[in-house]
Amino acid sequence: MYFKLKPGLCLRGWEKLPYALVDRNHKNHTVFILKNEFDALSLCNGRIDTDLPLISDSIRDLIGKMKEAGAVEPCEAGDSITEDQEYHLYPCRYIRTVHWSITGRCNYRCRHCYMSAPDAKYGELDHETVMKLIDELAECGVMYVSLTGGECLVRRDFMEIVDAILEKKIVITQIYTNGALVNEALLKALDERGIHPEFNMSYDAPGWHDWLRGIPGAEKAVDRAFRLCRDYHFPTGAEMCIHSGNKDLLRETVNHLAEVGCRSLKTNPIGDVGEWKKNGYGQTISIEDLYELYMDYIPKYYEDGMPLSIQLGGFFSASPRAPKEYDIPITKEKCNPEKMAVCGHARMVMYLSPDARALPCMALSGMEIQNQFPIVTDIGLSKCLNDSFYMNFIDRRGSDYLKEHPECQACEYSLYCLGGCRASALEYNNETDLMGRDLAACTMIKGGYSARLLALMKKIRSDAHCFLLDDPFWQEKMQEVGN
């Protein structure tokens, strides 16, 4: 009997993760599988008779289970799978997503820009080099790309870049923009290509947006962009930079964004880096004040009916799509530090700067330490994802951090923290120590905010669940807060 993979399912592998099934029908959803599962799927190519005596009963049983699961289907002999479905082993380690600044230019003058985009400090790569990088993304098995800047829409070849990415069967998940250049022609062009990526646009509170973006009319422009995306059925998300001026407008911001059709909001305090540090604006908010602000707002979020999905930095996240769940992102589930990457996000997502520097995240682009990381156009993406300072760093484990910080290793919260966020740690350690201690995470977890938040949620939303509630350690900490 002959079987073949269902249309859209492809066999893939990477160094150290050699067996995976990629589903093109569901936006490149990738599942890593066991070797025996891979062996069974490899026989489902339309060219091999699975009744042959040399094929074991256990493999035949697995093929039967995969048929029931909808992964394979019976076929006639010679009805082969497509070239794209055949197994391909990529010559590098696995990176799921590249968050790519395709330009360092911008049409705004944001006061807090990481990369000094108002002055086009990092410029942009020429068209030919961008096309070559897209080829390299495909050759290294990158499944997703999000496009940002600067302002990514200022590139005249923007749609050519989109087309080249799509041709390589890479999914464009998000377009980050200030909204000024979002128009009907752009949305129609994307719709004609059968894609509806999320437009993620900054919004920094009513009355403050123009000030932070440095352009009169910026708030009106982004409002128009949100409404236009809603009308054309493009999902939208927003990011809010919190400082001492707009900190009391969080509730108003959330409700306004919901009104214009925005589906999600992520907040973060303005970091004292890039243009903000250069110009000495000084309206940053302390960690404690930020966390108290969040604690005060969370009950209001539920009072307002969970208007949209929200992520208050690493402090709290929840969504109306799953109203009985919430998360405290910065507080990790108790882990094995030998297996946990020191930054789980960076291990899956590369930030590619306007000058093609591979960084763990965008925040580092405003820091001198970025110069330690490689430029992909100099060494090639494959080498970058095999043997480079970048790969060595993102593959470091929590145990490496603990060895460098015996005071953290001795802390009862160590396996729930692992030093926190690397970018945040850099900011609190004069931008010099990639493996420094993150004061924001320490304040959150050791300082009692995680336990206080769990206790608060138990009081205002007792039907909601967080994974930490299943841990006796955190049950005890909640009791201590209650007492």
> Would residue 273 count as lying in a domain?
yes
The answer to whether residues 126 and 189 belong to one domain is yes
pLDDT of residue 437: 92
Residue 267 lies in a domain: yes
Q: Kindly state whether residues 26 and 120 are assigned to the same domain.
A: no
Give residue 117's pLDDT.
Answer: 59
Q: Is residue 285 part of a domain?
A: yes
Q: Are residues 135 and 230 in the same domain?
A: yes
254 vs 240: CA distance, rounded Å? 10
In a domain, 155, yes or no: yes
User: Is residue 164 domain-shared with residue 311, that is, in the same domain?
Assistant: yes
When divided into structural domains, the chain yields a total of 2
Examine residue 294 and state whether it is found in any structural domain, yes or no. Answer: yes
Whether 206 and 317 share a structural domain: yes
Q: Residue 127 domain-assigned?
A: yes
Cβ atoms < 10 Å from Cβ of 288: 11
Q: Which of 68, 89, 110 is the last residue of a domain?
A: 89
- Would you say residue 421 lies in a domain? no
Domain end among 282, 302, 327 = 327
Count CB neighbours of 78 within 10 A.
8
State which residues form the domain around 111: 97-327
Supply the Cα-derived Rg of the chain in whole angstroms. 24
Claim to verify: residue 22 and residue 75 sit in the same structural domain: yes
Q: What is the pLDDT along the chain (483 residues), one digit of tens a residue?
A: 999 999 999 999 999 999 999 999 999 999 999 999 999 999 999 999 999 999 999 999 999 999 999 999 999 999 999 999 999 999 999 999 999 999 999 999 888 876 665 667 788 999 999 999 999 999 999 999 999 999 999 999 999 999 999 999 999 999 999 999 999 999 999 999 999 999 999 999 999 999 999 999 999 999 999 999 999 999 999 999 999 899 999 999 999 999 999 999 999 998 665 566 666 666 678 899 999 999 999 999 999 999 999 999 999 999 999 999 999 999 999 989 999 999 999 999 999 999 999 999 998 987 889 999 999 999 999 999 999 999 999 999 999 999 999 999 999 999 999 999 999 898 888 778 899 999 999 999 999 999 999 999 999 999 999 999 999 999 999 999 875
On whether both 113 and 174 belong to a single domain, the answer is: yes
Alpha-carbon distances of 228 from 235, 269, 333, rounded to whole Å: 11, 28, 40
Instruction: Please report, for the domain that includes residue 123, its CATH number.
Output: 3.20.20.70
Concatenate the DSSP letters of all residues of 83-150 into one string.
GGGS-EE-SS----EEEEE--S--SS--TT-TT-GGGTTT----HHHHHHHHHHHHHTT--EEEEESS
User: Same domain, yes or no, for 127 and 220?
Assistant: yes
Does one domain contain both 136 and 246?
yes
Q: Are residues 135 and 201 in the same domain?
A: yes
Specify whether 125 is located in the same domain as 13: no
Is 172 in the same domain as 307? yes
- Asked if 452 and 291 count as a contact pair (C-beta separation under 8 A), the reply is no
Q: What is the pTM of this model?
A: 0.95
In a domain, 123, yes or no: yes
Last residue of a domain, one of 275, 293, 327: 327
